[in-house]
Amino acid sequence: MNMTTANTARLLITCEDKPGIVQAVSSFLYHQGANITALDQYATEAQGGRYFMRVEFELDNLQSRKESLTQTFAANVAERYEMHWRLALVSDVKKIGILVSKVDHALLELLWRHARGGLPCEITKVVSNHETLRESVENFGIPFEVVPVNKDNKREAYTQIDELMQGNDLLVLARYMQILDEEFVEKWQMKVINIHHSFLPAFVGANPYKQAHEKGVKLIGATAHYVTADLDQGPIIEQDVERVNHDFTVEQLRELGQDVERNVLARAVKWHLEDRIIVDGNKTVVFQ
């Protein structure tokens, strides 16, 4: 961790849009001696809508000043504008756990990017319901655990997974082919990111690429979203598509689809780690 990272923080704000918010936040940071390095904002309406802001700034001795900074901001700015807000220090490296089954493309993309320094986090462990990917994961020096899941042991299995994943800030489903237990999802609310092919709900169940091929689709894609109790209905973070035509075989569709999946998931995870996402109901505001 370099000194710039040690003294960098991000402030994320949601509130009713009113005049003076930018001035109030900027003035507060100025009087604290902070230097704003990035500021993004979005309002849902020209007047009277919802307002969203992401501010990245640098401040000397940030670690020791965090508590007084948050207390002063809460009293002098946040309370006045009735803000929902959070302050994140870049030096507080987020910890993530990954859930996977047998398919490896999304998992290996995350592990490779992390090994290359492209994902600012600590990957604490990978949990799977199969032994298949143990060697691939352990080759990266990351612990691998197996928790079998079936229709008769779901509650016990997810209690065990919950215990294994304690201490993580985020869980990533890298093609984990199990439906999460509702109690588990409630405990990890807006802290689980999933990836799936964009054919849902049109092509549900096994072998969606075969179904897509039979229907002669012209677009394939993928969606990364936060997990909620409503299956595949959580707030969308990122999506992408690729054009295809009648020449594509099922295997070519699958290969291209997996390529889209791995990149969409990696972007969504990176944006979460960089505090670029604000959840607003069943939508997200993503500052890129």
Catalytic residues: 232
- Residues 67-78 as b or e (16 or more Cβ within 10 Å = b): eebbeebeeebb
Distance CA 72, CA 154 (A): 46
HSE at residue 265, side-chain half, CA atoms within 13 A, is 29
Say if residues 278 and 10 touch (Cβ distance below 8 Å). no
Kind of pairing between the strands at 219-226 and 236-243: antiparallel
Say if residues 13 and 280 touch (Cβ distance below 8 Å). no
Helix (H, G, I), strand (E, B) or coil at 53: strand
145-181-119 Cα angle (round to 5): 50
DSSP for 70-134, written as a single string: HHHHIIIIIHHHT-EEEEEETTS-EEEEEEE-S--HHHHHHHHHHHTT-S-EEEEEEEESSSTTH
Q: 52 pairs with which residues across the strands? A: 14, 42
Length of the chain, in residues: 288
**Alpha helices per DSSP H over the chain:** 3-6, 21-32, 62-73, 79-81, 105-115, 134-138, 154-164, 182-187, 208-215, 250-273
